[in-house]
Structure 1
Amino acid sequence: MRRIPFRSPHPAPGHSRPSTVSARTLLVAGAATVAVLAGSVLTAGCGTTTAGGHAHATASARAAEAAAGATPRSAPRVPAAAQGLPGMPPLLDPKDVYAADRPNALSPVVRNFPSRVYVPNSDSNTVSVIDPKTYKVIKTIPVGEQPQHVVPSWDLKTLWVNNDVGNTLTPLDPATGKAGPTVDVHDPYNLYFTPDGKYAVVMASLDRELVFRDAHTMAVKKTVPVSCYGVNHADFSPDGRYFIVSCEFSGELLKVDTEQMKIVGQQRLPFEGAMPQDVKISPDGKTWYIADMMADGVWVMNGDTFSKPTLLRTGKGAHGLYVSRDSKVMYISNRGEGSVSLLDFATGKLVRKWHIEGGGSPDMGGVSADGKVLWLSGRYDGEVYAIDTADGRTLAKIPVGSGPHGLAVYPQPGRYSLGHTGIFR
């Protein structure tokens, strides 16, 4: 039976090592779509449901969160500007935020980097490096405790491994594949970068904070406490002036003013037991999609008005969201049923579904530079999937370490990175 690290939201001083809780206990807890009885463990979202070890909320934690005043409130539109966020490179096409992500449109910064797939193994404390041409692991890199995501830096020069429980970041050089000295960063579950390249935004899930740090040195610039629980994923508006964050353990969304580093909106999703995950905007920037692993679909909303979202069901355990190289389709990984749903941006409708050959647990990943392969980690199966984007065939299942999570395909097209496993503009 797989053992899952457990970390209290408020660990006692001097206690940095997590205790464990059985996967069976979490599986039972995960079957509920409502808050579990006091003292029971609520399954974690992107970090884990039946396994994987990120963090777990309790019914008392939910009650405390509710008492903290996280009641839904509307968000005013963040004032727009013709040139967007000061210092942000203008979009190549105002009608398509992904216009810079066309097949093999690599920046000169990354053009000579070897093509690799970097897989953080949360339960093995390693990163597996895959050669996408041979589908073989060519290197295994020891990193800190419980690596969750491999995140390309804004300037594209560094890959940051988020060692969540270890409270560190491990920098990887994508030119050589070598790891550098770790950097102390507390609770780095996930990592994003503001569009102007000034700040890294640490999703400090258990600390209940958004921590703005210098994008290069990681020195803290501002800490923003949040009343929701489990900040984990985000995406930025086309003008870069705001971003929307999912809170997986309290089933909420935040709207954040980028320049002011201030929360301007907060709402609870209209589904009991909601656990929102990945966040992505449509190419025209008008529609936002938020995957929800407990609602088994994606929430659809207007980010400017921060409207009440509606649910589009895609499959059990909807989790990761990825855009095709032609900006026409979004790939949605359904971790609970081993499938990938395809959403047509033009119509807003699902057009097909691919199933992992032999089953699996597709989680986080990315699209190859040429757009021909979708790479996803198999969270509960110790493997990585390579999927043909032409017909959905499973090209390969590659054994890696235990608990593979937020893998990064690198390099990818784009001029700069907004973080996560690779959001490029």
Structure 2
Amino acid sequence: MKNLKFTQIITFGFILLVVFISSISVSANSDDWIRTSSAEGVSLEIKFANFGEMNSEELLFEVYLSTHSGNLLDNNFEELITVRNGQDYLNNENINWEWERESSHHPIGLIKIKNTTIDGQKFYSDKTEYLELEISGIREASHRFRWNINQNKKLLGYIPNAASGTVSVIDIGAEKVINTIKVGEEASHGIEITPDGRFLYTGDFQNGLIKIFDLSSNKLVKTLEVKSTAHGIDMSPDGKYILVASGSESEVAVIDTAKQEIIKVIEEGIGDSPSHIDFDPAGKYAILTNLESDDVSVISIPNFEVTVKIPVGDGPNEGRVAPDGRYAYTANWESNSVSVIDLNKFVVVDEIEVGEGTHGVIVSPDSKKIWTANRKTNNVAIIDAETRQIERYIAAGQYANHLEFTPDGKKVVVTNARDNEAILIDTETYEVISRIQLGEEPHEISFLIK
């Protein structure tokens, strides 16, 4: 009897120890669920308050706002918020905002998001890859916050190899190619994956074909024919549309991803040799770089009409909109520069001399750094977005071509077109940590968490 009681005490004590350790672990990791952002004189700190409650009816986010001018209470936050999970998104119909402290300069809010069931699965569940919450429209700026949920999944990179007519699939963690998909004679330079991870959009460049692959089987399920060549392939933030820049003719084809059909071809207002496309965070318009007419076409969504053309540097190959939505940046291949576009006025406000053959450009998730790939100097430049001064150069490889941040922002993948490789750069140390051999002439990068 005494032995039994002793055993029970030991067991009970062990259980208490496990609970105690678990509580320490949750408390220690709670800061991992806090995200911050600043733009246009407004700072936000958001905490995912009930991240451990996947079966709850509501997702709770505590929001701490701060400014030194204006009245933040004037914003209708329910109308400004969108949340995504990698497969779908929720807007104001499922979102409620409550004020915890009503102060014009330092208010505190609580976001309540209905954890609705979509296609038989909770919006936030143990299968969720990530949550991304965006508040767009505070003084015309956008704030984006991301929480990676399932860290045990693989991050895959899909890279088209133009000269090989293939797509290389890279396991970023393992730093190796795990698959190669044959596309056609010459692969398009752009590539996209739908937000639900189901379909890959790639292309046969010179033959003007867009090819849609089912990623569960890597099998071709549909081919679409555009009127000319198919160079740039870029997707709207909500995943509803794919825009295809011709690269030769002054045309952009618009694909409805739900129908998997071309619904419009834009010709009026498109410049010479349209190259690549990016979108504002809210998905209300796209910017198209026109390589040979040295300008950018701004395309409205969902009307798909050119509303303004902006002269930029010589040979703009690629443009990127900063995540906060304030500026766009074009990589100017012939003038070796980056043009800075004020997206409130749609005018160029600065020109940054970078490196010879500036070909690719990206902006860091916090909008504070601009990275460029410079083909002729075979390096990557990192620019401070506020001072617009170059902070450093990183030796890349022969013909540094395109580059992209991994979803967590911890690495940058750069393709070197003549070395036929991708390199991985650590964004904290700025060191090249890996080199991965690909097919011939690799270009853009798209990611899938699987």
Q: Which residue of 2 aligns with 1:362?
A: 400
**Contact 2:422/2:435, CA 8 A, preserved across alignment:** yes
SS at match of 1:180: strand
In the alignment, is the contact (CA less than 8 A) between 2:193 and 2:447 conserved in 1? Answer: no
Paired letter, 2:154: P
Once superposed, what is the RMSD of the aligned Cα atoms?
3.0
The residue aligned with 1:160 is 201
CA separation of 1:351/1:88 partners in 2, compared to 1, >3 Å: closer, same or farther?
A: farther
- Give 1:97 shift: 4.1
Give the Å deviation of 1:393: 1.6
Match of 1:314 in 2: 354
User: Which of residues 367, 372, 375 in structure 2 aligns to 1:335?
Assistant: 375
Aligned counterpart, 1:99? 144
Q: Secondary structure at the match of 2:272?
A: coil
- Tell me which amino acid in the other structure corresponds to 2:416: G
Pairwise CA distance, 1:112: 7.8
Quick one: distance in 1 between partners of 2:219 and 2:357?
A: 33
More off after superposition, 332-341 vs 403-412 = 403-412
Structure 1 residue matching 2:347: 3-state secondary structure: coil
Q: Which has the higher helix share?
A: 2
Cα separation, partners in 2 of 1:163 and 1:335, compared to 1, 3 Å: same
Aligned residues: 321
Deviation at 1:246, TM superposition (A): 0.6
Matched, 1:202 2:244: yes
- Equivalent residue, structure 1, for 2:416: 378
Partner Cα separation in structure 2 for residue 188 and residue 405 of structure 1: 14
Instruction: Give TM-score, length-normalised by structure 1.
Output: 0.67
Q: 1:85 to 1:395 in 2, by over 3 A?
A: closer
CA contact (8 A) 1:228 1:247 kept: yes
- Determine if contact 2:233/2:244 at 8 Å carries over to the other structure: yes
Question: Contact 1:320/1:363 (CA < 8 Å) preserved in 2?
Answer: yes
For residues 10-60 of structure 1, what are the alpha-carbon distances to aligned partners after superposition, in whole Å with 9 as ceiling and x for unaligned? xxxxxxxxxxxxxxxxxxxxxxxxxxxxxxxxxxxxxxxxxxxxxxxxxxx
Deviation string 1:229-250 (CA, Å, 9 cap, x unpaired) is: 1112222234432222110122
User: Structure 1, residues 379-424: CA drift from partner, whole Å, max 9, x if none?
Assistant: 1221111112222222222222111111323339xxxxxxxxxxxx
Matched to 2:357, the amino acid is G
Distance 1:197 1:373, change over 3 A: closer
Residue 351 (1) aligns with residue 396 (2): no
Q: Distance in 2 between matches of 1:363 and 1:179?
A: 28
Mapped to 1, the partners of 2:309 and 2:90 lie a distance apart of 25
> What letter matches 1:218 in structure 2?
Q
| 2:262 equivalent among 196, 220, 229 | 220
Matched ranges for 1:13-28 at <5 A? none
Change (3 A) 1:127 1:198: closer
Give the equivalent residue in structure 2 for 1:237: 280
2:298 is the alignment partner of 1:260: no
- Measured in 1, the distance between the counterparts of 2:327 and 2:403 equals 22
Whole-Å separation in 2 of the counterparts to 1:366 and 1:267: 25
Amino acid at match of 2:252: L
Query: Residue 135 of structure 2: SS of its match in structure 1?
Result: coil
Give the distance between the partners of 2:232 and 2:273, measured in 1 at CA: 11
| Counterpart for residue 130 of structure 2 | none
2:372 partner letter: I
Tell me which amino acid in the other structure corresponds to 2:190: H
Partners of 2:210 and 2:224 within 8 A in 1: yes
> Residue 193 in 1 paired to residue 222 in 2?
no
AA matched with 2:258: H
Q: Which runs of 5+ in 2 are unaligned?
A: 1-75, 83-88, 93-132
Q: Distance in 2 between matches of 1:88 and 1:293?
A: 39
Q: Which one scores higher on RCO, CA 8 angstroms, separation ≥ 6?
A: 1
- Cα distance in 1 between the residues matched to 2:162 and 2:245: 17
Q: Secondary structure at the match of 1:331?
A: strand
1:323 and 1:112 mapped to 2: Cα distance?
A: 27
Judge conservation of contact 1:376–1:386 (CA < 8 Å) in 2. Answer: yes
Q: 2:381–2:390: 8 Å Cα contact kept in structure 1?
A: yes
Aligned ranges 1:23-34 → 2 under 5 Å = none
Task: Check conservation: 1:369, 1:411, Cα contact below 8 A.
Answer: no
Structure 2 letter corresponding to 1:152: I
Amino acid at match of 1:368: T
Shift of residue 105, structure 1, vs aligned partner = 5.6
Identity of aligned residues (%): 24
Cα offset, 1:254, TM superposition: 0.8
Structure 1 residue 113: Cα displacement: 5.9
Aligned partner of 1:180 in structure 2 is 220
Gaps of 5+ in 1: 1-80, 413-425
Larger Rg: 2
Within-5 A mapping of 1:386-397: 386-397=424-435
Q: Structure 1 residues 90-99 or 213-222, which shifts more?
A: 90-99
In 2, the alpha carbon distance for the partners of 1:387 and 1:208 equals 35
**How far does residue 364 in structure 1 lie from its aligned partner after superposition?**
1.6
Q: Secondary structure at the match of 1:93?
A: strand
Q: Give, in angstroms, the shift of residue 167 of structure 1.
A: 2.5
The 8 Å contact of residues 84 and 241 in structure 1, kept in 2 or not, is answered as no
User: What is the TM-score with the length of structure 2 in the denominator?
Assistant: 0.64
Alpha-carbon contact 1:152-1:159 (below 8 Å) kept: yes
Structure 2 counterpart of 1:290, which letter?
T
